[in-house]
Amino acid sequence: MISRFVRFSFALAEIDRNLHKIMSDEMSALGLRGPQAVYLIRLNMHPAGLTAAELAKLCDRNKADVSRAMAEFEEEGIIYRESGKKPYRARIRLTEKGILASEKLRERARLAV
């Protein structure tokens, strides 16, 4: 039983390591950081958009990190916000560039797993 648990633990660690490498590779191509890939994937799962507060809760990250990442995403043309609302309360949606990036990221992750 211990042997199976050890093999399982190593397999999970290997998958996690590969996913982090994929995220870093894909995000660096966009000029962004690897951990921000989680935001892209989450936004892709919600085509109607999310607020920054909803995104922070879903990704289990703090609001400041989400706000910084969204500002970077906006500069890179990956997301857009609904107009007429305060930036933090506005719904965030992926642009075409963001959708393509998140699909590529998800596909590479799927192949790695």
Q: Which tokens is 80 given?
A: 């857009």
Between the two ends of the chain, the Cα-to-Cα distance in Å is 24
Q: Which tokens is 42 given?
A: 């989450």
Q: Could you read off the pLDDT of 73-95 as tens digits, one per residue?
A: 999 899 998 876 666 688 999 99
Q: Could you read off the pLDDT of 33-56 as tens digits, one per residue?
A: 777 888 988 999 999 999 999 999
pTM of the entire structure?
Answer: 0.74
Share of the chain above pLDDT 70, in %: 92
79-81/92-94 β-pairing? antiparallel
Cα–Cα distance, 18 to 12 (Å, whole number): 10
Residues in the chain: 113
Burial of 85 from C-beta contacts in 10 A (0-12 / 13-18 / 19+): exposed
